[in-house]
Amino acid sequence: MDRKLDPSRDDLPLMANTSHILVKHYALDLDVDFESQIMEGSIVLFFESENRCRKRSSSTEETCQSESSEARTVRMPEPCHVPGTSTRTFSSKTGYSDFVICGKGEKDTSGKDGNHDNWEQASGISSSKYCCDTGNHGSEDFVLVLDCCDLSVLKVEEVDVAAVPGIEKFTRSPKLTVVSELRNQIVRELVTLPADRWREQLDYFARCSQAPGCGELLFDTDTWSLQIRKRGAQTATDFPHAVRIRYRTNAQGRSVTWTSDQSGRPCVYTMGSPINNRALFPCQEPPVAMSTWQATVRAAASFVVLMSGEHSAKPTQLQEGCSSWHYYVTMPMPASTFTIAVGSWTEMKPETCSSNDLAAERRSFSPSDADFGCVGVCCHVDYPCRFQNASAAIQEIIPHRVFAPVCLQGACQETLLPLVPLCLSAAHSVLGTHPFSRLDILIVPANFPSLGMASPHIIFLSQSTLIGRSHLCGTRLCHEIAHAWFGLAIGARDWTEEWLSEGFATHLEDVFWAKAQQLAPHEAREQQELRACLRWRRLQDEVRSSPEEMQVLRPNKEKTGFVSDSGSSVIKHGLNPEKVFMQVHYLKGYFLLRFLARRLGDDTYFSFLRKFVHTFHGQLILSQDFLQMLLENIPEEKGLELSVESIFQDWLESSGIPQADDILWESLHQRQIALCLHYALATPGGRPEPPQCSASHRAHVRKRRPAGL
């Protein structure tokens, strides 16, 4: 892999060599210090090497192909260069001397004992002082490459998992005499335990993460990565399968934001940074590296720790003034979906318990209650899947909590709390089984850069959604809930195909919100037409004001999903600051799905969508996976002139507004004219028109006004 990075490019490099070795589980152990604005501690990574990963992947594909005629293959092209940049975004920094840190870890001695800090490296060129092989061939040592940025790495060591009491049950070959091989065999057995042993698996992951080290490993860093090797380990199979990294974050690290909440109290949260979580912990960023995780986080007792996790964690009191929080996830997810928020949050509870809340409690259940395997066969890797549980299938409202600074309690109780069960129930009525067992919703600080963000088991909402009537809060909540299916349970294998997440969520938010409001069919259609007109106008404005290359939904075209031989790749324009403000993936994706739904009819389309969700949940997809399955389910008379190639050409691989359906655009044009006329007739004097009306629309309105207006 070429480590030389081009700082003039705005592509985001994904450096991890995931083709050779994959992280299957992360165990984090961190202390949060608000005075110095750092998180410090360790992370243990449990690996599965290349050969075993490929064997299991082949087995899964064979099973899925027997369930569906759609064959999903992974293409591996020639090695590619990995450009990058040293651009930084700095967070505001405020000291809080009245808050303490609990259980501080090792002090940083970078520069004195060979440890490294990749925050200081801005050249974009590896500072590696050793010659090594990142693959599993040749005579040099194998090198593990992790995505890592803005972190101070203090120590890397192999973990002696063989020292854990009771671990001998995972040694299938008692004849093994080489201790390193024994340790790797234990991890291999542990990461492949069946789903019905998930509690045992988590318990042993926790025990192994606390096991002593058995030898330091050589490591080095550059701007975007951490490289680790063990002398004499020439292949990924020989490399240690359990590795502990002791590190600390940087106050200006780009994965987390240290700030104050609306009540002036300090807090920290992950903000959905363009560089994802690599400045929070060393990890494998490529989405193909789907893993589970568990995390123990310590903070002052006055703080609440919220995190992506399957249970509603409660604090454990440690020494005076310090608490510990523990979360876990058993559904394999990309590391980028991990989310944490630490602050003086208050749980907002309704003044009275509604019938919806009681129904949610009656229908709630934990993974331990599940009978995994009673509904049907899934095509994903083995985990405790809710889609295989009959109880989950009828659970309209999952258990949920709402958190916010105490000063927003009134607004939350009035606006947000009544909407949550309605929106969850509406989503279930459209797509069926909720992919996640529970949900926390947090009103984040005022500097949060968007209206919302969805992660497994937790949603961030901007305080802006609480202002005014319930419409903004409801639609945004529906959008983020939709991401549980599209974006999380079903993810894009190539992150340049953002429309697979944002286009679906934008299209579904209208459907969910109409059902949450219990609108009659004609009222729902009227509301959705209005929102389509506003989005059409917004898309026109964005197309006029943005670079053409940024308007393409599938910018890599036929190379979409390709990676280098090592597994590294780049996210095209992933670091472009303009991209944060663009909505083309939302809007063009929305109009493509609206176009397809019109072709099929709503009943046929949403019936297909439920089938698609059941087939692909727990997996990563490309655009062709969705389109090929869709076209196979379109009645022949409705699929005329539609093909994957034509949709690619008209919608996904071209800039500008698609010309695939002139009738669609003409109807929106006429609808917007009618709306302008409606506003003109409803306004005394007929003077003000809605702000979305263009000059041509206003001209049409003036021509069509009745005399005297």
- Which pLDDT value is given to residue 574? 87
Least confident residue range of 12-16, 450-454, 690-694: 690-694
- Is 690 in contact with 672 (CB distance < 8 Å)? no
pLDDT tens, 284-302?
Answer: 999 999 999 999 999 999 9
Between strands 290-300 and 225-229, the pairing is unpaired
**3-class SS at 665?**
helix
- Which pLDDT value is given to residue 51? 60
- Closest alpha carbon to 224 in 578, 576, 569: 569
Better pLDDT: 223 or 360: 223
Most confident of 118-127, 358-367, 501-510: 501-510
**3-class SS at 627?**
helix
Question: What is the pTM assigned to this prediction?
Answer: 0.84
d(CA 258, CA 251): 8
At 623, list the tokens. Answer: 């655009």
Q: What is the mean pLDDT of residues 197-210?
A: 97
d(CA 648, CA 247): 44
How high is the mean pLDDT of the chain? 82
Beta bridge partners of 145: 227
- Is 478 in contact with 498 (CB distance < 8 Å)? no
- Which pLDDT value is given to residue 354? 52
421 by Cβ neighbours in 10 Å (0-12 / 13-18 / 19+) ranks as: buried
- Is 557 in contact with 475 (CB distance < 8 Å)? no
pLDDT tens, 563-618?
Answer: 899 999 988 888 888 887 789 999 999 999 999 999 889 999 999 999 999 999 99
Most confident of 8-17, 44-53, 190-199: 190-199
Residue 53 has pLDDT above 80, yes or no: no
Share of the chain above pLDDT 70, in %: 75
Tokens 């961030």 locate to 460
Q: What is the mean pLDDT of residues 91-113?
A: 39
**To 10 degrees, the CA torsion angle through 494, 495, 496, 500?**
90
- Which pLDDT value is given to residue 171? 81
**CA angle in degrees (0–180, nearest 5) for 200-246-145:** 85
Q: What is the mean pLDDT of residues 438-466?
A: 96
Share of the chain above pLDDT 90, in %: 64
Kindly indicate the confidence band of residue 496, based on its pLDDT and cuts at 50, 70 and 90. very high
d(CA 460, CA 269): 10
For 193, half-sphere exposure in the C-beta direction (CA atoms, 13 angstrom radius) is 22
d(CA 514, CA 493): 31
| Residues annotated as catalytic (active site), given as ranges | 480
Least confident residue range of 90-94, 393-397, 478-482: 90-94
- Closest alpha carbon to 37 in 252, 246, 245: 252
- Which pLDDT value is given to residue 674? 56
